[in-house]
Structure 1
Amino acid sequence: MDPLPFRFVVAIPARYGSTRLPGKPLLPIGGVPMVVHVARRALAAGASEVVVATDDERIGRALDGTGVRVALTGADHASGSDRLAECAAQLGWPDDTIVVNLQGDEPLAPASGIRAVAATLAAGSAPMATLATPLASAAELFDPNCVKLVRAADGRALYFSRAPLPWPRDAFAARRDLLPAGVPFLRHIGIYAYRAGFLRAFAALPRTPLEEAESLEQLRALEHGHAIAVGLAPEPFPPGVDTAEDRARVERLLAGTAA
């Protein structure tokens, strides 16, 4: 893997509490805590530093000997970006540091995608970047759990939504079970990169009406007038772990016996 012509850090928010899976970062996958798998993905991407920002010392202890730094943060953060803003302040990262926010429940995140979101940010002037991938089916387009986005000709995000987006009027007037050709349907991938200075500023911004309506934190940046650069993922991002069934699926995939 060739080194990138810039440095970036990966910060992994890992909250112990979880409604569906308490202690989720510590769930064993192949005998290894999930947060360790995620950290290994970040290290494989070539980050100059990997930090896990957590509210629980047990998660920190699980990372002993991995070469990953641990930042103990508050337990009352509303989002991962809020937790990472505290982490950035603790560690004193300069404002221009590229920080990749890799979710702590993404043990299969490809190293190429981690590098791609950092490169998307580094290549332009937007203070924030993320990734997208073409939608595979009409079922995905109409699934509110699948976040869609549209972007401008320069690659910057215009909007993110849980609703079908865009809406090809004539094609969908005839049928809605197939995606019409030639329409740029994109699924959002929830990995972000920010400059550290913007990360701290973003966390301080007040929540916005569209953010609250869609329950999509990235809309806060757009509503406050900040650009988000959108790159295309170079390879698929497998789903993360939200349920016990997800954990079992990831375990099969890591064992090479996925069904």
Structure 2
Amino acid sequence: MVLGLIPARYASTRLPGKPLVDLGGQSMIQRVVMQARQANLARVVVATDDERILRHVHDFGGEAVLTRPEHPSGTDRLWEAFQQLGAPADVHCIVNIQGDEPFIHPAQINALADLFTNPATAPAIATLVKPVVSAEELFSPHLPKVVLDARGHALYFSRHPLPYQRNRPEADWLAHHRYLRHLGLYAYQPAVLGQLTQLPVSPLEAAESLEQLRWLEAGYQIRCAETELDAFGIDTPEDVAKARARLGV
């Protein structure tokens, strides 16, 4: 069974109450849940730290659990939620779906879940990447980049473009290398998710502020599936305005 878990915190420095923001008559978290339900998931559950979000999800017919507010990351919140659900033994894959991406495409979720179909070849951790198509993407520190080995495993994630192209002007980099951008969708074997919550913050993670570097430094492999579909996360009031425009409201 593939379980979809959606971490949803109420507090946000730039957009308080973000999961409850109205987007054309539906809240952001409702839109995420509805998109996730179209994927090949046996169950979709919101993991929240706030009673308001919990009640709202129940009101629109969703499933949610209330977790402790002090979790340092969404990964820790998911692990507590999984325990609250009874850690069902028939779950072979947990997909971490970002609660601030109301336009997440079911095909993106399926691309990760499909990697876990065969237990003999299932990765410990998987995530999603897409080709970089513009210089704006390439040089934005808000859009992490990733380099892969020949088997599709992540070698490194960075907010800086990777690789650096020596003796070429930055304006020519995209013409001479196929860059990949990381999308924040993850999937894990349940036991591995529990192990990740026990790892301390690592030096590379602290430097780049990217949690997945903690896992690489600890020796975990991260398999990457590729998509051409973009991600649209909402972090600011300006992002909300863009999302409403996209919905035509």
State the TM bucket, normalised to the shorter chain.
Answer: over 0.9
- State the aligned residue count: 246
Structure 1 unaligned blocks of 5 or more = 1-6
Once the two structures are superposed, the pairs formed by residues 161-240 of structure 1 within 5 Å of their partners are: 161-169=158-166, 173-181=167-175, 183-237=177-231, 239-240=232-233
Preserved CA contact (<8 Å) 1:131 1:190? yes
Provide the C-alpha distance between the structure 2 equivalents of 1:55 and 1:183, rounded to a whole number of angstroms: 42
CA shift, 1:65, in A, is: 4.8
The amino acid of 1:193's aligned partner reads: A
Q: What does the per-residue CA deviation read over 1:115-147, in whole Å, with 9 as the maximum and x for residues that have no partner?
A: 112123446342100010111123322221110
The equivalent of 1:3 in structure 2 is: none
- In the alignment, is residue 117 of structure 1 matched against residue 112 of structure 2? yes
The amino acid of 2:234's aligned partner reads: V
Equivalent of 2:101, from 101, 106, 121?
A: 106
Equivalent of 1:45, from 39, 57, 62?
A: 39
- In the alignment, is residue 77 of structure 1 matched against residue 71 of structure 2? yes
CA shift, 1:47, in A, is: 1.2
The equivalent of 1:158 in structure 2 is: 155
Preserved CA contact (<8 Å) 2:162 2:179? yes
Provide the C-alpha distance between the structure 1 equivalents of 2:228 and 2:107, rounded to a whole number of angstroms: 7
- In the alignment, is residue 97 of structure 1 matched against residue 92 of structure 2? yes
The equivalent of 1:132 in structure 2 is: 129
The equivalent of 2:142 in structure 1 is: 145
Preserved CA contact (<8 Å) 1:148 1:163? yes
Preserved CA contact (<8 Å) 2:165 2:173? no
The amino acid of 1:133's aligned partner reads: K
The equivalent of 2:242 in structure 1 is: 249
Percent of aligned pairs with the same residue? 45
TM-score after normalising by structure 2: 0.93
Preserved CA contact (<8 Å) 1:25 1:59? yes
Provide the C-alpha distance between the structure 2 equivalents of 1:95 and 1:74, rounded to a whole number of angstroms: 25
Provide the C-alpha distance between the structure 2 equivalents of 1:219 and 1:29, rounded to a whole number of angstroms: 33
Preserved CA contact (<8 Å) 2:3 2:91? no
Provide the C-alpha distance between the structure 1 equivalents of 2:174 and 2:20, rounded to a whole number of angstroms: 43
Does the residue aligned with 2:71 lie in a helix, a strand or coil?
coil
Structure 2 unaligned blocks of 5 or more = none
Does the residue aligned with 2:37 lie in a helix, a strand or coil?
helix
Provide the C-alpha distance between the structure 2 equivalents of 1:70 and 1:245, rounded to a whole number of angstroms: 28
The amino acid of 2:223's aligned partner reads: A
Preserved CA contact (<8 Å) 1:51 1:68? yes
CA shift, 1:62, in A, is: 1.1
CA shift, 1:95, in A, is: 7.9
